[in-house]
Structure 1
Amino acid sequence: MAKQQFFVAGIDTDVGKTVVTAGLLEKANQQGLRTIGLKPVAAGCVQTEEGLQNSDALLLQKTASVKLSYSEVNPIAFEAAIAPHIAAEQTGRRLSADRIAAICRGSMMNPSDFLLIEGAGGWRVPFSRKETFADVPKLLGTPVILVVGVKLGCINHALLTAEAVVRDGLQLVGWVANRIDPDMSCYEENVATIDTMFQAPLLGEVPYLDDLSPSSVAEFLDISSLIE
C-alpha cells in the first residue's frame, strides 16, 4: 500500500487536473519514489482494440513508475464526453461510490510510495441523485490536493471548493495554481489572494505552457510538504 495517498480535485472541469497530476507523479519519480496514478472514472473515451480508453488515464498510466494495467488505472470508462452520471444513465450503468472506492482500494494495494487518484470535473460532480464523486475520497479517507485553473472567477470557485472539502471532513493538504488563461489580468494578485485565504500550502504555479509534458510541468511543482 502507498505510503502517501492523495485525491486530486479541481475547482471545475478543464482546469488541468490531469496535467498537474502527471506533473506531480513525475516530480515524485524524479525523487526516486514508486508512483501510481489512478483515474477511476473517465468520460470522453475512444474505442480501441483493448476497449474504451481515455487519453488522460493513458497519460497517468504512462507517467507512473509502477506499471498497472489500463483497467486498474481507469476501471470505469464512458465514450461520451459528458457528466459521468448522465453517461452512466445513457449506457444503462450505475455509478456507486462504494464500488469505485473498493476498486481504488484494490489498486492501492500495489506497493508504492506516492499514489494519486484523479477525480472528474469539480468536487460535487454527481454519480446519482444521492452521491457525488466527493464520496469516494470520503470513503477512502484520502487528503486532497486542489487544482485551481487560474482565470477570471477562480477565487470564488477555489474558496467554495476548499470549504466543501473541509466540510466533508477531509484535509486539504495543498493546491496548485495552473494558469489556463495567458491573458488574464492581475494573475499574481489572484494567486496571492487564494494563497492568503487557504489553510494549505501552494505546491506550485504552472505557467501557461506550450509543452504540457509531465517533465515540463514538474519543474514548477514542489512536493516536499507532501512526502515529509
Structure 2
Amino acid sequence: MSAYFVTGTDTDAGKTLITSGLLALARRQGLSTLGLKPVASGCEMTSDGLRNRDALTLQAGSSPTTAYAQVNPYAFAPAIAPHLAAQREGVSLGLANLGEWLTTRLAEARDLTLIEGAGGWRVPLNDHEDLAGLAGLLRLPVIVVVGVRLGAINHARLTLEAIRRDGVEVAGWVANQIEPQMDEATANLNSLAQHLDAPCLGQVPYLERPCADAVAHFLRLPE
C-alpha cells in the first residue's frame, strides 16, 4: 500500500485535477484507489448535505467506491481559508483528530491512497498547526503540484524547501500548465526540472477540457 499527501504551490494550482489523474492512472493498472480531502471549504448545500466539488471528484476516483463522509469529514460552506471557516462554524480542527481519522482510512490498505491538502503547504489548520502537519504526523511523502504560471519557479522551489525543512520527504512534483498561453513555457518547464531536486511525475499541458482520464496520459506514479 502506498499513501501520499498532495499539496500545491498555491491555491488553484490544480491539486484535484492531478490527484484525480493519478488515481485514474492507478485504476488503469488494476490498482485499488482512495482519494481523501480531510478539510474542504467552499461547499454547496445539497439534498445530501454539504458537498465539495473537489471531494466529489476524489470520491469518484476511489475504487472500490466509498461514502462521501469517508472522503471529506470536515465540509464548510464559506469559500474562505479552512481554519477561518471552521472558526466561523465553531468547529475545532487539529492534527490529533484529523490524524486519528486518517489512520483509520489508511488501515484500509488500498494500493494507492492520495490525501489532498488545501491551498499550499503553509495553510493553517488552527492558530498553532498547519494542515501540512498531517504529512509529518503520518510520515507521508509529498507530491507537489506546480501551477505553471508566472512566478511558478520561485513558488515551487520555496515549497520544496519548506517541505524538507519540516523533515518530510518529497516523492515528486507535477507541472500543471494552468494558463492557455504563457511566454517561454518550455523554458520555464526546463528551469523547473533543473531547479527541483525531486522526481518529475509529469508535465500536463493546458487542456481545454481537463479531466482525470485526459490528465492520466501525462502522468506516472511515484516509485
For Structure 1 versus Structure 2, the TM-score category normalised by the shorter chain is: over 0.9
Please give the per-residue CA displacement for 1:27-59, whole angstroms capped at 9, x wherever unaligned: 000001111100100111011222111011001
Partner of 1:37: 35
Partner of 1:166: 164
Partner of 1:118: 116
Partner of 1:48: 46
Partner of 1:178: 176
Question: Quick check: 1:66–1:112 contact (8 Å CA) kept in 2?
Answer: no
- Where structure 1 has 5 or more consecutive residues not aligned to the other structure, the ranges are none
Partner of 1:4: 2
Question: Quick check: 1:203–1:222 contact (8 Å CA) kept in 2?
Answer: yes
In 2, the alpha carbon distance for the partners of 1:104 and 1:212 equals 29
Task: Work out which of the residue numbers 71, 87, 93 in structure 1 matches 2:91.
Answer: 93
> 4+ residue runs of structure 1 moved beyond 4 angstroms?
none
Q: Give TM-score scaled by structure 1 length.
A: 0.95
Task: Work out which of the residue numbers 125, 128, 131 in structure 1 matches 2:129.
Answer: 131
In 1, the alpha carbon distance for the partners of 2:96 and 2:109 equals 22
In 2, the alpha carbon distance for the partners of 1:98 and 1:140 equals 11
Please give the per-residue CA displacement for 1:97-140, whole angstroms capped at 9, x wherever unaligned: 11111111111111310110000000000012211111111111
Q: Secondary structure at the match of 1:81?
A: coil
Q: Secondary structure at the match of 2:21?
A: helix
- Where structure 2 has 5 or more consecutive residues not aligned to the other structure, the ranges are none
Q: Give TM-score scaled by structure 2 length.
A: 0.97
Partner of 2:72: 74
Please give the per-residue CA displacement for 1:162-191, whole angstroms capped at 9, x wherever unaligned: 000101111101100000012111111111
Partner of 1:16: 14
Mean Cα displacement is larger for which, 21-30 or 121-130? Answer: 121-130
Tell me whether 1:103 sits opposite 2:101 in the alignment. Answer: yes
Report percent identity of matched pairs. Answer: 48
Mean Cα displacement is larger for which, 117-126 or 45-54? Answer: 45-54
Q: How many correspondences in the alignment? A: 223
Partner of 2:147: 149
In 2, the alpha carbon distance for the partners of 1:111 and 1:159 equals 32
Mean Cα displacement is larger for which, 82-91 or 190-199? Answer: 190-199
